[in-house]
A = this chain, B = another copy of it.
Amino acid sequence: MSLQDNKTGQFSRRRLFGAVGTGAALVGVGAIAGHATASGAEVPTSDVVEFRGDHQAGIVTPAQDRMHFVAFDITTDSREDFVALLKKWTLMAERLVHGEETFDGGAVDGGEYNVPSDTGEALGLTASSLTLTIGFGPSMFDRFDLASKKPASLADLQHFPADNLDPRRSGGDLCIQACADDPQVAVHAIRNLARVGFGTVSVKWSQLGFGRTSSTSTTQATPRNLFGFKDGTANLKAEDPSLLDDNVWVAADDDQEWMAGGSYLVARRIRMLIESWDRTTLKEQERVIGRSKGTGAPLGQKDEFDALDFESQGPEGTFIDKTAHVRLASNENLGGVQLLRRGYNFTDGSDGFGHLDAGLFFIAYCRDPLTQFVPMQLALSRKDALNEYIQHVGSAVFACPPGVEESEYWGSTLFE
């Protein structure tokens, strides 16, 4: 199998099973299936996001509806084994995003005496715009003689005021972000990648996001977060490549050359204290955010995409409060700092105190966490009116290497 085979994107894992029947018949099919999908039916490829390119997909890709995010610990001391896993993952990931099974043979065509090479729960589903994005955590660079390659910007985030971090939801030697329009496709991908990682990596934590909270493209309607507000209005957008170059993509001379074309991912699991929020007036909610809840327009303006006006006065002072979230987070307040937000809403059972455990799994991509995320979160954690209604309970940072070119693999600029 060559990598090129996967680039056609014309076939899909999701074969239509004809009257193949019993195990005995399946052996035959497996034996002749040189290409996993050679006997498959064609499926529409419009929902395939290409895997290869200058940058990894899943960063400026228009945010898909659902997400499954996993952080791993490395459990091997062998650099060779770890690099072998990265190579295997790359092959699998490219197949998965094309809607194919992880390997030739897959769930049912590999012969009945073999362990199926794909777990099968995505059979029949389309590619669903799946993207898979890998990132390396600070602790990974303590291993494999990588210390000299560690970017200065890649360090565990400092403690911020009111942080209440759960170590079981924080950190990780590496991560994979799976985004797709069908959650079963995202979960299937993570599960199969975790599966082949057995013995080399182990799952540290994972997070399911059921709804995107940010738009990352001007082609998308702005979704709402669990506080009921439109989220992503003033986000960086895929359609503005020069802003992305300035704020998202690492440049060759920024620091470590292997990160050129990559980006840093900051993840924060933010619990929303929805019971307190739900007891406040509309006026208070809009004051806290600084925008109108219905339209998403900045306070004092009419339309969602009107510019924020931090100076003009209404009857009670500036339209946008001094502690409003959008004021403190704005590039005007932060001397030009911006980043790309790409988070998801979550709900994970109950908190044990009679409430839903729900919130925002905040994901941001930036060129340098130390000069972008950190000052922004410092400003917010000190003064944001929103702090009364949220609590940061998980934190992680990862260096996402550049996109993989033909014959490269995830992280090859670092390991070769």
Question: Are A121 and B183 in contact, CB atoms less than 8 angstroms apart?
Answer: no
Cα A301 to Cα B124 with chains together (Å) = 21
Pick the interface stretch among A205-213, A323-331, A401-409: A205-213
Question: Are B112 and A282 in contact, CB atoms less than 8 angstroms apart?
Answer: yes
CB of A292 within 8 Å of the partner chain: yes
Cβ 8 A contact of A292, one of B23, B123, B229, B300? B23
Binary per-residue interface labels of chain A (344-377) against chain B in the complex, 1 for a CB within 8 Å, 0 otherwise: 0101111010111010000000000000000000
Binary per-residue interface labels of chain A (300-316) against chain B in the complex, 1 for a CB within 8 Å, 0 otherwise: 11110000000000000
Question: What chain B residues lie within 8 Å of A350 (beta carbons)?
Answer: 203-206
Question: Are B184 and A210 in contact, CB atoms less than 8 angstroms apart?
Answer: yes
Decide yes or no: A203 and B345 within 8 Å by CB, A23-B292, A281-B112 being known contacts: no
Question: Are B66 and A352 in contact, CB atoms less than 8 angstroms apart?
Answer: no
Tell me the dominant secondary structure on chain A's binding face.
loop
Question: Are B184 and A120 in contact, CB atoms less than 8 angstroms apart?
Answer: no
Identical copies in the complex? 2
Question: What chain B residues lie within 8 Å of A348 (beta carbons)?
Answer: 208, 348-349
Give the contacts of A2-33 with B (CB-CB under 8 A): 17, 19-23, 26
Cα A21 to Cα B306 with chains together (Å) = 11
Question: What chain B residues lie within 8 Å of A347 (beta carbons)?
Answer: 68, 187, 191, 206, 208
Question: Are A123 and B228 in contact, CB atoms less than 8 angstroms apart?
Answer: yes
Cα A75 to Cα B355 with chains together (Å) = 13
Q: Please give me the residue from chain B that is nearest to A221 by CB atom.
A: B124
Cα A232 to Cα B250 with chains together (Å) = 49
Give the contacts of A214-257 with B (CB-CB under 8 A): 221, 224-229
Cα A355 to Cα B201 with chains together (Å) = 10
A229 CB to nearest B CB, Å? 7
CB of A170 within 8 Å of the partner chain: no
A218 CB to nearest B CB, Å? 17
Question: Are A184 and B68 in contact, CB atoms less than 8 angstroms apart?
Answer: no
Cα A11 to Cα B198 with chains together (Å) = 52
Decide yes or no: A119 and B302 within 8 Å by CB, A26-B294, A184-B211, A228-B107 being known contacts: no
Q: Please give me the residue from chain B that is nearest to A349 by CB atom.
A: B206
Question: Are A278 and B66 in contact, CB atoms less than 8 angstroms apart?
Answer: no
Binary per-residue interface labels of chain A (245-275) against chain B in the complex, 1 for a CB within 8 Å, 0 otherwise: 0000000000000000000000000000011
Question: Are A295 and B114 in contact, CB atoms less than 8 angstroms apart?
Answer: no
7 inter-chain pairs at a CB distance below 8 angstroms, sorted by A residue, are: A21-B301, A22-B299, A119-B278, A184-B210, A191-B356, A208-B347, A348-B348
CB-based closest 4 A-B pairs: A120-B228, A202-B354, A108-B294, A183-B210
Known: A115-B280, A120-B227, A121-B225. 9 other contacts (CB 8 A): A19-B295, A22-B301, A112-B283, A113-B281, A115-B278, A116-B228, A116-B281, A120-B224, A202-B355
